[in-house]
């Protein structure tokens, strides 16, 4: 906090605002969303910030801070900037070890003492164009972030006007306007510097370098008082900025279905496909007990898996809230993928509802398969997302399940499903096809359909099914002569 700046009454921060950061995260918000930081988190240039004992993922975020000069309530976009008194630099520090348990509020993960250093100098907002500001960040002298307000998804004036719809922005309040790509993990001994300037304005006004040094804390968190820090590979990747930067192996994703294979699988019925799988020794290819929410639905896609474990109070407290595995799966599903959920065949609670169904639909998912229940059943059907489930149930997830993991081998309806397996569902049910077999299985199933259609013609003409279904040698010869195929795919009733 600078000498000429009073302690803010409110600190409001935005979750995602720069296109570069949103692209890095793989999700771009349609509208800004916010969280509060306590005034006790404010720090000054030249100060220190502590990484608590037992944690590993303290990350810096260089940001432009707006300091409100005059009260703003229900202000317009055109008038919003007149209520900003000053601009300065900020470091919106965050501890990813506590992020998952904060359920989006960031109360503990971003509310620590000194987690919002500001300054050192204030730039007069009247002297700069809000669309022409720059923010840069250095760690140990190395430039890590360099972006301008031209890269914002939501302009600075929109943030002021939007927030003023909901409450009065008072003089001294601070708005942290988001960070661009380049934010990463820092360790004890690291020195972070943030600078905001207006390089094209008269005199190139600048906040100067906001300097913060990381120290190591000695007092661990007490698990008897609240949830303990916990990290997984997702938190590591997001804290560091990428899996590669975090030292994690690259994610291996099965290639998407080719248009030709998808077309063949859409044409082939699951009954015929399962026949061909059984001929190849695959007798456990069925996801049993599920039916479509939209009559006549046909789904074809590659599996993105989500696993729930049985409800347990401490496990749900640690894994059920925040950006949990369920939310991550629906946020990350790709076009043409099918989310397959392991719910242990328990249909007495919902495993998804209308909001997540809408997210999957928006992402281009081909459907969802769950051996559990579906909440908001009718609304999910109205959204148009095909869902194969054990039926409807009004209860929320936490009644029976803890969202545990994504992109792992699961069991759904008695079938083993791996990420990238091919899922096909229609009125007869849902089957799982190993990718290496899909082309041949599809070709043979379609050939079988042609053969079965010819057999149906013979039955309709009055011939008995004995020897005809399946074809014996005599009828096989007649079929080959009639079609010129010589096929031997065979039929099953």
Statement to judge: residues 467 and 373 lie in one domain = no
448 vs 185, higher pLDDT = 185
**C-alpha span between 30 and 48 (Å, rounded):** 36
Range of the domain at 422: 283-433
Q: Would you say residue 5 lies in a domain? A: no
Question: Cis bond leading into 196, ω under 30°?
Answer: no
The CATH number that applies at residue 318 is: 3.50.30.40
Q: What is the pLDDT of residue 254?
A: 53
Q: Is pLDDT above 90 for 235?
A: no
Cα 487 to Cα 271, 273, 465, 470: the distances in Å are 19, 17, 19, 13
**C-alpha span between 160 and 370 (Å, rounded):** 43
Q: Is pLDDT above 70 for 490?
A: no
Statement to judge: residues 328 and 456 lie in one domain = no
Statement to judge: residues 38 and 101 lie in one domain = yes
Average pLDDT over residues 462-476: 84
Q: Would you say residue 251 lies in a domain? A: no
Contact 28, 125 (CB under 8 A): no
Q: Is pLDDT above 50 for 491?
A: no
Neighbours of 157 (CB within 10 A): 21
Q: Is pLDDT above 80 for 102?
A: no
Question: Cis bond leading into 470, ω under 30°?
Answer: yes
Q: Is pLDDT above 80 for 492?
A: no
Q: Would you say residue 6 lies in a domain? A: no
Q: Which distant-in-sequence residues (6+ apart) come within 8 Å of 247 by Cβ? A: none
Q: What are phi and psi of 260, to 5 degrees?
A: -65, -45
Q: What is the pLDDT of residue 447?
A: 87
Statement to judge: residues 169 and 291 lie in one domain = no
Statement to judge: residues 118 and 153 lie in one domain = yes
Q: What are phi and psi of 463, to 5 degrees?
A: -80, 140
Of 18-22, 57-61, 422-426, the least confident? 18-22
Q: Would you say residue 489 lies in a domain? A: no
Q: What is the pLDDT of residue 253?
A: 57
Q: What is the pLDDT of residue 255?
A: 59
- What tens digit of pLDDT does each residue of 360-371 get? 999 999 999 999
Average pLDDT over residues 290-308: 95
**C-alpha span between 102 and 321 (Å, rounded):** 7
Neighbours of 47 (CB within 10 A): 16
Statement to judge: residues 190 and 293 lie in one domain = no
Statement to judge: residues 420 and 451 lie in one domain = no
**What is the average pLDDT score of the chain?**
91
Q: Provide, rounded to the nearest whole percent, the portion of the chain with pLDDT above 90.
A: 71
Of 23-37, 57-71, 170-184, 201-215, the least confident? 23-37
The CATH number that applies at residue 168 is: 3.90.850.10
Average pLDDT over residues 265-272: 92
Q: Is pLDDT above 60 for 356?
A: yes
Statement to judge: residues 223 and 351 lie in one domain = no
Residue closest to 161 by CA, chosen among 79, 241, 229, 87: 79
Q: Would you say residue 190 lies in a domain? A: yes
- Per DSSP bridges, beta strands 42-44 and 116-118 are parallel
What's the pTM? 0.59
Average pLDDT over residues 265-288: 91
Statement to judge: residues 47 and 196 lie in one domain = yes
- What tens digit of pLDDT does each residue of 111-164 get? 999 999 999 999 999 999 999 999 999 999 999 999 999 999 999 999 999 999
Q: Would you say residue 276 lies in a domain? A: no
Counted domains in the chain: 3
Q: Is pLDDT above 90 for 249?
A: no
């Amino acid at each position: 906090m600078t000498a000429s700046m009073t302690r803010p009454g409110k600190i409001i921060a935005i979750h995602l605002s720069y296109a570069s950061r949103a692209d890095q995260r793989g999700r771009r918000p349609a509208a800004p969303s916010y969280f509060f930081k306590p005034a006790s988190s404010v720090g000054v240039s030249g100060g220190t910030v502590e990484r608590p004992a037992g944690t590993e993922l303290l990350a810096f975020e260089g940001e432009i801070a707006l300091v409100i000069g005059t009260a703003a309530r229900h202000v317009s976009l055109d008038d919003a900037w007149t209520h900003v008194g000053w601009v300065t630099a900020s470091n919106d520090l965050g501890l990813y070890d506590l992020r998952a348990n904060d359920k989006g509020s960031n109360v503990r993960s971003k509310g620590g003492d000194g987690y919002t250093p500001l300054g050192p100098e204030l730039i007069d907002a009247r002297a700069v164009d809000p669309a022409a500001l720059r923010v840069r960040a250095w760690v140990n002298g190395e430039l890590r972030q360099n972006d301008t307000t031209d890269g914002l998804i939501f302009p600075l004036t929109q943030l002021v006007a939007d927030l003023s719809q909901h409450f009065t922005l008072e003089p001294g309040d601070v708005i942290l306007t988001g960070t661009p790509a380049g934010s990463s993990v820092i360790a004890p001994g690291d020195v972070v510097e943030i600078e905001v300037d207006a390089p094209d304005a008269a005199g190139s006004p600048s906040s100067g370098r906001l300097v913060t040094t990381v120290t190591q804390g000695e007092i661990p968190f007490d698990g008897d008082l609240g949830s303990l820090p916990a990290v997984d590979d997702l938190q590591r990747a997001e804290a560091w900025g990428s899996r590669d930067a975090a030292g994690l192996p690259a994610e291996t994703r099965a290639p998407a279905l080719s248009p030709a294979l998808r077309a063949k699988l859409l044409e082939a019925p699951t009954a015929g496909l399962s026949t061909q799988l059984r001929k190849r020794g695959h007798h456990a290819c069925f996801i049993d007990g599920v039916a479509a929410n939209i009559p006549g639905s046909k789904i074809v896609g590659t599996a993105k898996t989500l696993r729930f474990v049985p409800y347990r109070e401490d496990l749900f407290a640690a894994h059920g809230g925040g950006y949990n595995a369920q939310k991550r799966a629906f946020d990350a599903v790709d076009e043409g993928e099918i989310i397959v959920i392991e719910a242990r065949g328990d249909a007495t609670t919902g495993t998804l509802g209308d909001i997540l169904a809408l997210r999957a639909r928006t992402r281009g998912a081909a459907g969802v398969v769950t051996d559990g229940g579906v909440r908001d059943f009718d609304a999910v059907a109205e959204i148009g997302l095909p869902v194969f489930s054990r039926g409807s149930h009004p209860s929320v997830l936490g009644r029976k399940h803890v969202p545990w993991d994504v992109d792992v081998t699961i069991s759904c309806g008695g079938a083993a499903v791996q990420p990238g397996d091919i899922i096909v569902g229609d009125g007869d049910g849902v089957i799982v096809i190993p990718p290496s077999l899909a082309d041949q299985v599809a070709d043979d199933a379609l050939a079988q359909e042609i053969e079965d259609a010819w057999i149906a013609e013979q039955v309709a003409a009055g011939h008995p099914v004995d020897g005809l279904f399946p074809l014996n040698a005599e009828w096989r010869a007649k079929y080959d002569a009639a079609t010129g195929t010589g096929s031997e795919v065979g039929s099953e009733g």
